[in-house]
Amino acid sequence: MPDIILISEPMKKTLLRKAGTAAALLLVALPLQGAAAPLTLEETIRLVQEHNPSLKAAAEEVTAADARIRKSRSAYYPQITASAGYTYLDPVSEMGFGGSEPIQFMPNDNYEAKVTAKATLLDFGKRGKTVDIARSGRNAAAHSFDIAERDISYRTVELFYGILFLRESIRVQDKEITALQKALDHTSKRYQAGTATRFDVLSTDVRIQAARSKKLSLQHQLRRHELTLHRLTGLAVNSPLDLKGSFDAQPAFADAAALSASARQRRSESKLAAEQEQSARANRDIAMKQGLPVVSASASWGIANGYQPDIDEIRENFATGIHVELPIFTGFRTSAERQEAAALLRAAAQRRIDAEQQIKNDVEESLHAFETSRENILTTQSQVEQARLAAEHARARYENGVATTLDLLDTEAALAQAELARLQAAYDYLMNSYALKRATGEVFW
Neighbours of 399 (CB within 10 A): 12
Q: How many structural domains does the chain have?
A: 1
Under 8 Å between Cβ of 367 and 257: no
Give per-residue pLDDT as tens, 199-229.
Answer: 888 988 998 999 999 999 999 999 999 999 9
In a domain, 228, yes or no: no
In a domain, 283, yes or no: yes
**What pLDDT is attached to residue 86?**
96
Largest CA distance in the chain: 149
Give per-residue pLDDT as tens, 228-270.
Answer: 999 999 888 888 889 998 887 665 666 777 787 788 888 999 9
> 203-207, 302-306, 395-399: which range is least confident on average?
395-399
pLDDT at 18 over 50: no
Write b or e for each residue in 277-298: b if 16 or more Cβ atoms lie within 10 A of its Cβ, otherwise e: bbbbbbbbbbbbeeeeebebee
**At how many degrees (to 10) do helices 41-51 and 198-233 cross?**
50
pLDDT at 24 over 50: no
Cα–Cα distance measured from residue 15 to residue 223, given in angstroms and rounded to the nearest whole number: 47
In a domain, 430, yes or no: yes
pLDDT at 133 over 90: yes
In a domain, 35, yes or no: no
In a domain, 291, yes or no: yes
In a domain, 110, yes or no: yes
Q: Model-level pTM? A: 0.78
CATH (domain of 77): 1.20.1600.10
Q: Which domain holds residue 57?
A: 40-88+103-157+246-300+334-440
Cα–Cα distance measured from residue 254 to residue 248, given in angstroms and rounded to the nearest whole number: 18
Mean pLDDT, residues 135-143 taken together: 95
Q: Burial of 5 by CB count in 10 Å (0-12 exposed, 13-18 middle, 19+ buried)?
A: exposed
In a domain, 239, yes or no: no
In a domain, 218, yes or no: no
Q: Which of 270, 248, 265, 252 is nearest to 358 (CA)?
A: 270
